[in-house]
Structure 1
Amino acid sequence: MAELMGPRLYSCCNCRNHVSLHDDIISKAFQGRNGRAFLFSHAMNIVIGPKEDRHLMTGLHTVADIYCADCHEVLGWKYERAYEATQKYKEGKFILEKSKIVKENW
């Protein structure tokens, strides 16, 4: 039955543009600017902003904000570089804020 509905997706809360697959969630235990956030291995239909260094809860990181490709809503950020060895697993991964995404095909 699940095959008939297609994959479970997350979409932009503003325009419903598909931005990630449920299967790409690495962790739900992250904090965004506006509350809970999820760490994803991949994101789609996004625009990546300029890189900048930010002091986050887990130390200094180089990140780039990510925007919905359709409506340009800020959805979260991409980890470009982690300066602490224990945080290197985040490099190339995406934070999507729970308040900025909605479930589709559940």
Structure 2
Amino acid sequence: MPYKLIEGEKIKDWKGFVDSSAIYVAIVDEGFCDNMICLEQTLYAKSINIPSILVIKEGINQTIPDLFDGLNLIETLYYNDSNRKEVMKKLGKKLKEIKIKLDKEFSRENET
């Protein structure tokens, strides 16, 4: 059964969550390609052209270069064991920026 990765809880209708999300975030490590749900979610994100952020462990993307071709990438971050915490902070900052931007756009739409 699929997981809602941020909260670590199982969900039945993950496609519904993706469809209602503003962004797809994939944290790619050694086990990513072995997890069919991760692969399916990535392919689905491609098919609906959702803006995406990849956080890739250094050295991993050479083994799966074609999987992410065609994603609507807005940012790609690379991490290793020594800078993981800093990179995750950058991810959090980027997500906050996106949320603020979307909130402003949404409030403008509601004013008209």
TM-score by length of 1: 0.22
Structure number with the bigger relative contact order (C-alpha 8 A, sep ≥ 6) is 1
| Larger Cα-atom Rg | 2
Q: Which has the higher helix share?
A: 2
